[in-house]
Structure 1
Amino acid sequence: MIQLKNVSKIYRTKNGEISAVNDVNLSINKGEIFGIIGYSGAGKSTLIRLLNGLEKPTDGTVEVNGQLISSITGNKLRVARQKISMIFQHFNLLWSRTVADNIAFPLEIAGIAKTERDKKVKELIDLVGLSGRENAYPSQLSGGQKQRVGIARALANNPEVLLCDEATSALDPETTDSILELLLDINKRLGLTIVLITHEMHVIKKICNRVAVMEAGRVVEQGEVLQVFQNPQADITKNFVHQITGSKESQGSIEQILINYPTGRIVKLTFVGQKTEQPVISKLIKQFNVEVNIVHGNISQTTSGPYGTLLIQIDGDAQNVQNALAFLETNEIQTEVIEHA
């Protein structure tokens, strides 16, 4: 569906060159929700503008739905863009138009007859949960309602790709979740490919199938969300995962834990998918005659299943403790024994 090959974007200014995107390679499948996460200045917004042709790459190629967006121009580009819609952080609604008229706007531009236009607008209003608000103006809407209008307008021309540029950043957490649920529902109902850029790992965790992590214009890590949660490689990815799991312990906190639990072994367990539902602790106690204390624990839900971390103390006969550790390893539970620095 979407292919980026060796894509770079360099802006040339009077103060020199700025490399916004640097040798990015991405493959996004039809019908998936793909997240791109990074802090401000990582190159996310430039990358998403390359996907709809608002920017042209300095090097490399961008292909969307069979069209080489990086090279086509004029009418071919306009036609291709009709299948690539976008929603924004600050909604970009027409304040002098009602909800229905905002949604109808792209249909008017496309020359759709009024009868068909009105029918489509009603369908979209129902789809995004705004029934009864069609005659309201943007100033009369909440932030979440405004974004629902933006989503409905983006869907008016039956796009095959929906680009979301920090679409929930201006919303409170509860409203953010409702918009993410709406995007997930639209993805399932319409089979729409969604590319979502954000600086919030919660957004990635909530609805994305796969994720690419950007830093200084480069994609430093990518993969299925659950795999990235389980085994983050880049430091920036570890920071993002920590936002959700709270699984990153400082050396100071590690040392304090070891002081508080001077005997036995302190072990960090990582569970993925159905492993999070297994009665691991009770099995350790019953089968190996060891004492187990839970020091800290956290479970997060992703679209691919749950991910959890657990910090425990295992105490008892040295051989029994060793047998318990071996049992954890053989049951495919990622195990890390915490030692003094």
Structure 2
Amino acid sequence: MISIEGLSKIFALNKKNITAVDDLTLNIKEGEIYGVIGYSGAGKSTFVRLLNRLEEPTAGKVIIDNQEITALNTKQLRLARQEIGMIFQHFNLLWSKTVEDNIAFPLEIAGASKAERSLRVQELIDLVGLSGREKAYPSQLSGGQKQRVGIARALANNPKVLLCDEATSALDPETTNSILNLLMDINEKLGLTIILITHEMHVIRKICNQVAVMEQGKVVEQGQVLDVFTHPKMPVTKKFVEQIMGSSSEDDDISNMINTYSNEGKILRLHFLGETTNQALISELAKKFDIDLNILQGKITQTQAGGYGTLFVQAKGEIEEIDMAVSFIQEETSVEVEVIRDAN
């Protein structure tokens, strides 16, 4: 669906060349929600603006649905952009126009008739949940409602691709979740390919299938969200994962807790991945083996591809029973187990 080959952007600033995007290559499948994450200055917003040539690339190709965007002339690009919707962090609405007029604006530019505009605008207002707010002006809307207008406007010409540049960064957590749920609903209903730029890992976790991590203009890590979450390789990726799973300071808390409870039995670290997060493992162990289980600490989070997390458990009882329980986990389940303290 989207092929990006050797994409680069160099800005000249104070007689110096600044490389914002550096030889970036990605392939994005049709219908995916593809996340691109990076800290401020990583080049991610420049990257997304290169896809529809709001920024002109210094080098490289962008191919969307077999059309090379980077090779189009001005007239061809104007038509191609009708199939590439975009929403922004600060909404970019026309403040002197109503909700319905904002949504209708790209249809006017495309030459749609008044009747066609009216029908399409009402469809989109219903889709994004703004019924009853058609005549309101942006100043009369909440942040979430403004972004819903932005989404509806971006969908006006039935695009194949939706670019989201920090679309939830200006919103509170509850509103962010409602917008992310809307994007997932649109992706499912319309089969739309979505590229989502963010600096927030929980946004990636909630709705993305694939993720690319950017640093200093380069993609330093990419893959399925669950794989990247569970096996982060680069330091920057590990920092992002800590946004969800907790920082290394929590490891110290766990160590102190383990030392507190390590005077009896064994301390086990259980690692759950994907469907294993739904297993009632603790209750199953308690029924099968004559042991007592004390849950010390744990955290499980969900991604689009399934859940993952870690649970620390103290197992008390006869050593043979504990060993049989550990063997059962290793041989009969897909949960990973590690004995990290043995007081016997």
Mark yes or no: TM-score above 0.5: yes
Q: Who is 1:278 aligned against?
A: 279
* Alignment check: 8 A CA contact 1:298 1:308 kept: yes
Q: 1:127-142 residue pairs with structure 2 within 5 A?
A: 127-142=127-142
Q: 1:160-194 CA deviation, whole Å, 9 max, x = no partner?
A: 00000011111111111111111111111111111
Q: Given that residues 31 and 187 in structure 2 are in contact (C-alpha distance below 8 angstroms), is that contact kept between their aligned partners in structure 1?
A: yes
Listed as ranges, the matches of 1:204-283 within 5 Å are 204-246=204-246, 248=248, 250=250, 252-263=252-263, 264-283=265-284
Relative to 1, partners in 2 of residues 1:319 and 1:25: Cα closer, same or farther, differing over 3 Å? farther
Q: Tell me the C-alpha RMSD between the 2 structures.
A: 2.2
- Return closer, same or farther for 1:307/1:251 CA change in 2, 3 Å cut-off: closer
What's the offset of the Cα at 1:251?
A: 5.0
- Match of residue 188 from structure 1: 188
Give, in angstroms, the shift of residue 277 of structure 1: 1.8
TM-score relative to the length of structure 1: 0.92
Cα offset, 1:315, TM superposition: 4.0
Q: Which moved more, 1:55-64 or 1:246-255?
A: 246-255
Question: What are structure 1's unaligned runs of at least 5 residues?
Answer: none
* CA distance, structure 2, for counterparts of residue 65 and residue 56 of structure 1: 19
Deviation string 1:25-45 (CA, Å, 9 cap, x unpaired) is 211111111111111111110
Query: Structure 2: which 5+ runs fail to align?
Result: none
More displaced stretch, 211-220 vs 81-90? 211-220
Bigger mean CA offset, 69-78 vs 44-53? 69-78
Partner of 1:121: 121
Partner AA of 2:306 in structure 1: G
Alignment of 1:19-58 (within 5 A): 19-58=19-58
What corresponds to 2:80 in structure 1? 80
Match of 1:146 in 2: 146
CA contact (8 A) 1:102 1:149 kept: yes
TM-score w.r.t. length of structure 2: 0.91
State the match for 1:333 in structure 2: 335
CA contact (8 A) 2:254 2:297 kept: no
Whether 1:306 and 2:307 are equivalent positions in the alignment is: yes
CA distance in 1, matches of 2:10, 2:327: 52
In 1, Cα distance between equivalents of 2:319 and 2:146: 62
Residue-by-residue CA offset, 1:263-316 (whole Å, 9 max, x unaligned): 444333221232112122233344454432211122222222222321222344
Aligned partners of 1:268, 1:107: CA distance in 2, in Å? Answer: 57
Report the CA distance shift for 1:308/1:22 in structure 2 as closer, same or farther (over 3 A): same
Match of 1:16 in 2: 16
C-alpha deviation, 1:261, in angstroms:
2.1
SS of the aligned residue for 2:70 comes to coil
Alpha-carbon separation, structure 2, partners of 1:216 and 1:266: 41
User: Are the aligned partners of 1:84 and 1:163 in contact in 2 as well (CA < 8 Å)?
Assistant: yes
CA distance in 2, matches of 1:135, 1:219: 43
Q: What's the offset of the Cα at 1:318?
A: 4.5
Call closer, same or farther: CA 1:272–1:248 in 2, change over 3 Å.
Answer: farther
Distance 1:265 1:249 in 2: 23
Sort the Cα spacing of 1:329 and 1:216 in 2 relative to 1 into closer, same or farther, 3 A.
farther
